[in-house]
Amino acid sequence: MGKHKKKQRKKWKIAILVILYILLFLSVGALIVVKLFTVEKVEVTGTKHYTEGEIESWLLNDEYSWNSMYVYIKYKFSKPRELPFVESMDLSLKSPHTLKVKVQDKALAGRVYVKTLGQNAYYDKDGIVVEMSSEVIKGVPNISGLDVDKIVLHEKLPIKGKSVLKNLLALTQMLKKYKLEPDSIKYGEEGSYTLKYGKLSVLLGQAENLNQKIERLSYIMPDLEEQMGTLHLESWTENTTDITFEKSD
């Protein structure tokens, strides 16, 4: 019986030592995480809508956000609160002191101001409303003159007219392709389009030959930078050179 008790005591001593070593290991690990993993820098790439400071404030939003490991684990295992105009966000640890954030902005083709709501309906290349906001995003053209019913988030713009939305989306895609995004696009009663670049107006006329007109415009625009006036492309076709510019004072 004496030998059996000695063996039992020895086993307990070993078990206690193992537990103590585990606790020591965990304590050291926790101390390293607390002391070493502190947020000193947040690197942000991919967004045109937000500054680095705005993204940092959005991420580090609670009392434990000073710890980089905590922030990393938090956003890896839980969905962050929604941030307007952001499609997705990927967070990684570049170093114990540096968080790296890769942001993918929502693709915005244009915006329609809804007077009754006092907000802008931002839509994508397919005409789907992806965001409603009072904020005006630079570089996203304002579309006016449309006959729009009630706008619903995540649904297609309810524009009256069979081909109006189709032509508008084609136009905005062409403008984006040639880096000619205007400040605004006005849709006229007879189906005409007018582009506005500061104090310069470009009259495109109706939807015929829009692709060719925009391609032609891409050659003309460098000569019209900072100009005030109206460029007439309404009657232009591949077979004519009927382009005039009315300069205004």
Q: Give the mean pLDDT of 79-99.
A: 85
- Above 80 in pLDDT, residue 35? no
Out of 12-16, 56-60, 116-120, 157-161, pick the least confident.
Answer: 12-16
82 secondary structure, DSSP code? P
In the chain, which residues fall in CATH 3.40.50?
Answer: 110-247
In the chain, which residues fall in CATH 3.10.20?
Answer: 36-104
Top-ranked range on mean pLDDT: pick from 33-47, 57-71, 130-144: 130-144
- Above 60 in pLDDT, residue 6? no
Q: Give the mean pLDDT of 50-70.
A: 85
- Above 70 in pLDDT, residue 11? no
Top-ranked range on mean pLDDT: pick from 4-13, 15-24, 38-47, 70-79: 38-47
- Above 70 in pLDDT, residue 222? yes
Better-predicted residue by pLDDT, 12 or 156? 156
> What's residue 110's pLDDT?
92
CATH 3.40.50 fits 110-247, yes or no: yes
> What's residue 242's pLDDT?
73
Sequence-ordered alpha helix ranges (H) in the chain: 2-36, 52-59, 68-77, 164-177, 210-220
- Contacts of residue 164, defined as CB under 8 A and 6 or more positions apart, other chains included, come to 146, 187, 191
* Residue where the block lists tokens 């990684």: 92
Buried b / exposed e over 98-111, threshold 16 CB at 10 Å, is ebbbebeeeebbbb
Q: Give the mean pLDDT of 53-61.
A: 88
- Above 60 in pLDDT, residue 157? yes
d(CA 218, CA 221): 6
* Residue where the block lists tokens 């940092």: 56
pLDDT digits (tens, 9 = 90+) for 162-218: 788 899 999 999 999 999 999 999 998 778 899 999 999 999 988 888 888 999 999
Q: Give the mean pLDDT of 93-105.
A: 89
Q: Give the mean pLDDT of 155-161.
A: 85
Residues across the chain: 249
Q: Give the mean pLDDT of 145-172.
A: 86
Percent of the chain with pLDDT over 90: 27
Mean pLDDT rounded to a whole number for the chain: 83
Entry pTM: 0.74
- Above 60 in pLDDT, residue 151? yes
- Above 90 in pLDDT, residue 96? no
> What's residue 218's pLDDT?
92
d(CA 104, CA 51): 13
Q: Which amino acid is at 242?
A: D
Q: Give the mean pLDDT of 215-226.
A: 88
**CATH number given to 36-104:** 3.10.20
